[in-house]
């Protein structure tokens, strides 16, 4: 147990989790200060993909995605797809590695629940590394689990959330980790722009996303994997998802 002496209340997080390496906070520490709120520019029209992007979702079909038992089951309509709670996450049929990813999402306009129970979903690079999707507008939760957090590792530099129901954008620049046999050669790096605001700048990741644990690169994996979207039981919507593979990028 640690004394609740700084930051926000422990009730929104944990005080019995391990301390994050190189940081003064525990995993999902309820006392860790909330990111400063920045009002982003207003929501706009979907950002059209550049010519060399792979369009993963244009609002009309889910042919590039699969669910736990075959085809993706999330419903389509109005140019977006919506999480079908209980059906599980979906992931791309194709594998991707180093990339530039653009996607747009919206938390439910009808606010229900709080903390991690409000508009929770997630974007998983390589199916392993989560950038949190959450309705973090006026919704305190543990800082490493707020919207656009590198879940369980790093809060966003600021909270740039739009209001629930409004479309939000993520532009994610991801470099996959590299292994030589069982040895880590270079960690994953991520840069994230949320609603036009920088929230992670070439941040090295500690390892694949976990819950209540300190992550590590114990298990080597290939430098590619599916892009996955999380079913966390909330009616989060997605539209306009495209990706540019950075095949010539030198991760070293």
Task: For the CB of residue 121, give the shortest distance to Mg ion in the complex, in Å.
Answer: 6
**From CA 26, how far away is CA 8, in angstroms rounded?**
13
Query: Residues 196 to 235: which contact Mg ion by CB under 5 A?
Result: 230, 232
Restricted to residues 62-121, the positions that interact with Mg ion (CB under 5 A) are 120
Is residue 168 within 8 Å of 43, Cβ to Cβ? yes
CB of residue 43 to Mg ion, shortest distance in Å? 21
Out of 13, 108, 122, 156, name the contact with Mg ion by CB under 5 A.
122
Smallest gap from Cβ 101 to Mg ion, in A, equals 16
Task: For the CB of residue 232, give the shortest distance to Mg ion in the complex, in Å.
Answer: 5
| Burial (Cβ within 10 Å: 0-12, 13-18, ≥19) of residue 234 | buried
Q: Alpha carbon of 210 to those of 67, 76, 180: distances in Å?
A: 21, 30, 23
Greatest Cα-to-Cα distance within the chain, rounded to the nearest angstrom:
54
- CA torsion sign for 28, 32, 33, 38 is negative
Note the helical H segments in 51-133: none
Q: How many residues belong to the chain?
A: 252
Q: Which stretch binds Mg ion (CB under 5 A): 13-21, 54-62, 127-135, 217-225?
A: 127-135
Is the CB of 154 or the CB of 178 nearer to Mg ion? 154
The least CB distance from residue 105 to Mg ion, in Å, is 11
Nearer to Mg ion, 17 or 120 (CB): 120
Which residue stretch of 61-69, 122-130, 168-176, 193-201 sits at the interface with Mg ion (rule: CB under 5 A)? 122-130
Which two tokens mark 136? 């973090």
Residue 127 sits in the site that holds Mg ion (CB under 5 A): no
Please, which residues have CB within 8 angstroms of residue 80's CB and are 6 or more apart in sequence? 59, 106, 237, 238, 239
Interface with Mg ion (CB under 5 A): 120, 122, 132, 230, 232
């Amino acid at each position: 147990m640690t004394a609740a002496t700084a930051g926000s209340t422990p009730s929104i997080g944990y005080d019995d989790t391990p301390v994050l390496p190189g940081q003064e906070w525990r995993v999902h520490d309820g006392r860790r200060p909330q990111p400063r709120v920045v009002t982003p520019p207003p929501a706009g029209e979907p950002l059209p993909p550049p010519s060399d992007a792979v369009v993963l979702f244009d609002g009309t079909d889910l042919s590039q995605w699969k669910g736990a038992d075959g085809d993706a089951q999330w419903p389509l309509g109005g140019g977006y797809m919506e999480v079908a709670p209980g059906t599980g996450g979906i992931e791309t049929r194709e594998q991707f590695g180093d990339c530039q990813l653009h996607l747009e999402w919206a938390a439910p306009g009808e606010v229900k629940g709080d903390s991690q129970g409000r508009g929770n979903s997630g974007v998983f690079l390589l199916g392993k590394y989560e950038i949190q999707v959450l309705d973090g507008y006026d919704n305190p939760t543990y800082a490493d689990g707020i919207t656009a957090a590198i879940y369980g590792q790093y809060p966003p530099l600021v909270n740039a959330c739009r209001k629930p129901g409004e479309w939000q954008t993520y532009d994610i620049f991801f470099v996959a980790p590299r292994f030589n046999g069982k040895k880590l050669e270079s960690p994953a790096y991520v840069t994230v722009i949320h609603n036009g605001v920088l929230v992670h700048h070439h941040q090295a990741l500690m390892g694949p996303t976990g819950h209540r644990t300190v992550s590590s690169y114990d298990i080597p994996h290939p430098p590619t994997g599916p892009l996955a979207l999380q079913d966390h039981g909330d009616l989060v919507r997605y539209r306009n998802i495209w990706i540019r593979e950075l095949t010539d990028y030198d991760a070293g």
